[in-house]
């Protein structure tokens, strides 16, 4: 390439142009904060305005090209025959530099315009000072090769990889949007639960990307909100594969005790494992022994302890737990004022449960449990595959799908009055009869069909069952335990307090109606007995009108379909006296 053609030294000219612009005090393109290639220490309080830049530690990680408020949304414009010209193969003729977006340890991320395809793309250009550093050159190439082979809708695609007079570069999709970190810092508009649903749907797309990478034998090792981009139209991309580790296998984590090449099948990805090949690079990855690689605030213990041989897919699952942790609490799992403090927390896996860290956030207990299962110190105690984690997130979003179902034959009881209860039943098929026993008599309350809920009173009030429920025909019902209601509704949170208060009001009102109904029943029985006394009674020794108890008892049992005990109870409530010795009953009210 001639000097005239290169117009200022090719890609080096672009980088030098940035340097000259900075010396002259002029902006060099659309400047963005340092990308993930520089790990900046985050503290519990923001830096003072006098700080010119955050403290940076040279942990090599991948770039994060971020566009905030990009205005280049031009329509596609094909080259007409009148405009047609020779397609350019020279880098600086094909690509017009639009300035730097971000920079990291290995290179500059630039926005460039592809003259051949008439579109904006992102280009990563390796810094010239690294040309002769074999390990960095190797890592730069590996990043491009790994991303290029991970073809997935939620992984940023690489378009090209090349070299211009010794300066390596690769181009990729230019993402217009915001990072998950940006979205998490925005004020929540509307209900907190709706915000959870929004962020969890983003999280599911990230899980898809990571599951695919694992199926190809790649562990990301730097999963965090900064590396998740959400496009202006809902696209979700997992970025920054600069420190990805090749596991040289497909299909996921080897099960305990499995021989070489045996893995946990990931058929849910929709690909036959026999058709998958592990991602390969042209050079063997360098020796990382003893290096702490990743972002301190999210690291799994094996990363913080530099146990390279222990790093596998489950390390990514820990990091995904860190992303979920920040969705729930707006903070990463570890925070501190010094690097040493943060690293020691990561090495010891000292993670505060989300609901304890942010009690005001009303975090659903089930989500907290999922998060903490990811963030276990021992890899064997975590989810073993991303697909297991995804299943639990989807179950949460479905609102309890997957609850156990129980069947009852006709005549079989779902519950008995007076017994303790910690299960609620939701009738799916068949009908049930609800009744109480009063004075030995079964008193029907309701007949309920599909969709009805029974047994909630005892669960909400932590009280004995107030009624019995029996299957009128064959019944199928979903079973929900008190523990599950606590997890899904948060019965131990302010929401739970509200639900409990409303249910107490309902049950108090229901008890009033029940007592009124019982009083009506007493009046009905009393009125019948008074008429019986008037028709068949005679004046007794006390001067009161009385009748033979044996006769009235048989007549009342037949009239009201009650046992002897039931009749006695009704008469006692109506202030009637019974003398078994004299076989007499009379009205005893004064």
Is residue 400 predicted with pLDDT exceeding 80? no
How many CA atoms does the CB half-sphere of 359 hold within 13 Å?
Answer: 4
Identify the pLDDT of residue 203.
97
pLDDT at 507: 64
Q: What percent of the chain has pLDDT over 90?
A: 38
For the chain, what percentages of helix, strand and coil (3-state, to nearest 5) are there?
40, 20, 40
Residue ranges per structural domain of the chain:
1-41+56-69+87-175, 177-401, 405-492, 511-587
**CA 540, CA 583: separation in Å to the nearest integer?**
12
pLDDT value for 514: 65
Of 93-107, 109-123, 480-494, the least confident: 480-494
CATH of domain 511-587: 1.10.10
Residues forming beta bridges with residue 230, ordered by sequence position = 178, 236
Tokens 């990043």 correspond to 143
pLDDT of 250 strictly over 90: no
Nearest residue to 485 (alpha-carbon basis) of 471, 499, 505, 466: 499
Kindly report each contact of residues 559-567 with a partner whose C-beta sits within 8 Å and lies 24 or more positions away, as own/partner: 559/528, 560/441, 560/525, 560/528, 561/441, 562/439, 562/440, 562/441, 563/439, 563/440, 563/441, 564/440, 565/439, 565/440, 566/438, 566/439, 566/440, 566/441, 567/439
User: Reduced to 3 states, what is the DSSP secondary structure of residue 132?
Assistant: coil
Residue with tokens 């009128």: 472
Average pLDDT, the chain: 78
Task: State the Cα–Cα distance between residues 29 and 120, nearest whole angstrom.
Answer: 14
Query: CA 415, CA 479: separation in Å to the nearest integer?
Result: 12
pLDDT-derived band at 188 (thresholds 50, 70, 90) equals: confident
Give the total residue count for the chain. Answer: 590
Q: Tell me: domain 405-492, CATH 3.40.50.1000, correct?
A: no
CB of 238 closer than 8 Å to CB of 209: yes
Domain 1-41+56-69+87-175 superfamily per CATH? Phosphorylase Kinase; domain 1 (3.30.200.20)
The predicted structure's pLDDT at residue 278: 65
Least confident of 2-6, 304-308, 540-544: 2-6
pLDDT band at 16 (very low <50, low <70, confident <90, very high): confident
Sheet hosting strand 468-471, strand order edge to edge: 413-415, 468-471, 432-438, 441-448
Mean pLDDT of 367-390: 95
CA 239 to chain centre: 21
The CATH classification number of 177-401 equals 1.10.510.10
CA-to-CA distance for 510 and 153, rounded, in angstroms?
55
Q: DSSP characters for 515-576?
A: HHHHHHHHHHHHHHHHHHHHHH-EE-TTSSEEEEHHHHHHHHHHHHT--HHHHHHHHHHTTE
């Amino acid at each position: 390439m001639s000097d005239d053609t290169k117009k200022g030294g090719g890609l080096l000219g672009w980088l030098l142009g940035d340097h000259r612009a900075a010396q002259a005090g002029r902006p060099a393109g659309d400047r963005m904060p340092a990308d993930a290639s520089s790990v900046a220490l985050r503290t519990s309080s923001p830096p003072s305005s006098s700080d010119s830049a955050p403290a940076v530690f040279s942990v090599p990680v991948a770039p994060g090209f971020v566009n905030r408020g990009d205005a280049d949304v031009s329509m596609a414009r094909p080259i007409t025959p009148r405009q047609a010209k020779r397609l350019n193969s020279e880098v600086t003729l094909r690509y017009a530099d639009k300035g730097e977006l971000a920079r990291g340890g290995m290179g500059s991320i630039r926005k460039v315009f592809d003259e051949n395809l008439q579109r904006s793309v992102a280009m990563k250009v390796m810094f010239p000072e690294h040309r002769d550093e074999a390990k960095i050159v190797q890592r730069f190439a590996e990043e491009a090769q790994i991303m290029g082979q991970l073809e997935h809708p939620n992984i940023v695609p690489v378009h090209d990889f090349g070299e211009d007079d010794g300066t390596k570069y690769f181009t990729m999709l230019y993402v217009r949007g915001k990072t998950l970190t940006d979205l998490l810092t925005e004020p929540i508009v509307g209900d907190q639960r709706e915000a959870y649903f929004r962020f969890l749907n983003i999280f599911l797309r990230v899980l898809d990307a990571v599951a695919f990478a694992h199926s190809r034998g790649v562990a990301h090792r730097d999963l965090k909100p900064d590396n998740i981009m959400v496009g202006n139209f809902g696209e979700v991309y997992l970025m920054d594969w600069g420190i990805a580790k090749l596991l040289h296998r497909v299909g996921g984590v080897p099960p305990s005790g499995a021989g070489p090449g045996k893995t946990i099948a990931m058929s849910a990805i929709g690909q036959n494992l026999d058709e998958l090949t592990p991602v390969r690079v042209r050079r063997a990855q360098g020796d990382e022994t003893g290096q702490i690689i990743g972002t301190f605030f999210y690291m799994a213990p094996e990363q913080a302890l530099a146990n390279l041989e222990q790093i596998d897919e489950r390390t990514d699952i820990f990091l995904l737990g860190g992303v979920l942790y920040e969705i729930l609490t707006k903070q990463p799992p570890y925070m501190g004022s010094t690097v040493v403090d943060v690293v020691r927390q990561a090495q010891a896996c000292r993670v505060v449960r989300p609901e304890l860290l942010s009690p005001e956030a009303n975090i659903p207990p089930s989500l907290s449990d999922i998060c903490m299962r990811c963030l276990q110190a021992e890899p064997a105690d975590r989810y073993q595959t991303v697909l297991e984690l995804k299943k639990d997130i989807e179950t949460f979003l479905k609102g309890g799908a997957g609850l156990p179902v129980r069947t009852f034959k006709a005549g079989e009881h779902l519950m008995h009055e007076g017994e303790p209860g910690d299960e609620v039943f939701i009738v799916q098929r068949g009908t049930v009869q609800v009744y109480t026993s009063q004075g030995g008599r079964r008193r029907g309350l309701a007949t309920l069909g599909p969709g009805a809920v029974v047994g909630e009173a005892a669960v909400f009030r932590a009280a004995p069952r107030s009624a019995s429920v029996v299957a009128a025909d064959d019944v199928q019902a979903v079973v929900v335990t008190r523990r599950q209601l606590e997890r899904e509704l948060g019965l131990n949170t302010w929401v739970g307090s509200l639900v409990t208060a409303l249910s107490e009001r309902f049950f108090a009102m229901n008890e009033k109606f029940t007592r009124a109904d019982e009083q009506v029943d007493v009046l009905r029985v009393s009125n019948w007995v008074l008429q019986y006394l008037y028709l068949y009674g005679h004046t007794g020794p006390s001067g009161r009108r009385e009748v033979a108890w044996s006769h009235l008892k048989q007549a009342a049992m037949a009239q009201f379909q009650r046992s002897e005990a039931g009749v006695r109870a009704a008469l006692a409530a109506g202030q009637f006296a019974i003398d078994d010795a004299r076989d007499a009953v009379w009205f005893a009210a004064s």
